[in-house]
Structure 1
């Protein structure tokens, strides 16, 4: 594994997995020329042994490699919990292979030799996609933490509130007083940081409720 670190560590990073050392070096130089950090690996196994940085990134992946091929590794990424967008590069690709890669979510499938700008465009697209994915995941995690801060009773009331039930109906459904419903509802609104019922509904929808 080698690394290029011309910019700050909190910037995006591009992971390059290719068994050809000359290709790895050329791609590393290309990315450094546009001030993109990179880490290079000679195999998928070597990449998996590395702890990924907690920053947006993109994976440039060779299709054919000894051991676990790029295509096989791409299929396993979801199971392994790796959400990095993938840009395939290959000197042995065909249309069917490219179609399969794109169907499986690859950003691009480039056949060598390819234009440097085509690769850079694909990488930037991948980094942007990963950045948005990470923001969405962080937002969902924050909402889940808010929901977990509610008591069981507050959660019960909230579920019925967002269904459109009135306080009196909720009290009857849960066999509690209407005052208790109002108190739990108020606590839930505050903990969920919802300024209105409409906002509370939107939050619970994002949580899949």
Structure 2
């Protein structure tokens, strides 16, 4: 049973076909995945944000189409992976959906194992994305907690300036630059200069070098 602070991921099933919704709910439930079904895009979009870990979305529905629902999700910054369910002849629409950021698309009638595998892969990616976002938020909080001078020195170090150049630029001693740099590295959890630069890139303080990670 999931821990109270770690709720079971919920899969949204958005399709106007009652039978298909029930079939998918049964299939996903059979492998231990919770589902929540919606008959149209408006009902799904009215649900609380971040309440779904993965979205199974039909391309063709009355009212809002699957592509329109995807656009709304993108506009509000919803990061849940979207898997489109497509009928015969909908491949061009599915390709457009992929270009707009969809995780994948599956053609009806479904291969059950393929659908389960795709949902599991999307869940894993979503979890990794959430963990990365959480790490970035912690890193940002640590950066904000630094003294203004430490933040300045941090950026200059990441830009490639030497301690002597930073000292001359800020009007402080080289020793002060070194002390502040080491203190900032410790606060951010950077073990060396290369790691410090990567963290500064992740925070958006400096741009990554062309061809860099």
- Establish whether residue 28 from structure 1 lines up as the match of residue 25 from structure 2: yes
CA RMSD in angstroms comes to 2.0
Tell me the number of residue pairs that the alignment of Structure 1 and Structure 2 aligns. 202
Aligned to 2:79: 83
Runs of 4+ residues over 6 Å off in structure 1: none
- CA distance in 1 between counterparts of 2:196 and 2:97 reads 39
Q: 1:19 to 1:54 in 2, by over 3 A?
A: closer
Q: Give the one of 7, 11, 16 matched to 1:10.
A: 7
Note the residue ranges of structure 2 that are not aligned, 5 or more in a row: 207-213
- CA distance in 1 between counterparts of 2:89 and 2:128 reads 30
- Structure 1 residues 131-140 or 179-188, which shifts more? 179-188
- CA distance in 1 between counterparts of 2:126 and 2:148 reads 35
Aligned to 1:43: 40
- Structure 1 residues 8-17 or 66-75, which shifts more? 8-17
- CA distance in 2 between counterparts of 1:126 and 1:155 reads 37
Q: Give the one of 124, 131, 139 matched to 2:127.
A: 131
Residues 93 and 111, structure 1, Cα contact 8 Å, conserved in 2? no
Aligned to 1:201: 197
TM-score (norm. length: structure 2)? 0.85
- CA distance in 2 between counterparts of 1:184 and 1:37 reads 50
Aligned to 2:209: none
Secondary structure of 1:60's counterpart equals strand
Structure with greater contact order relative to length (CA < 8 Å, sep ≥ 6): 1
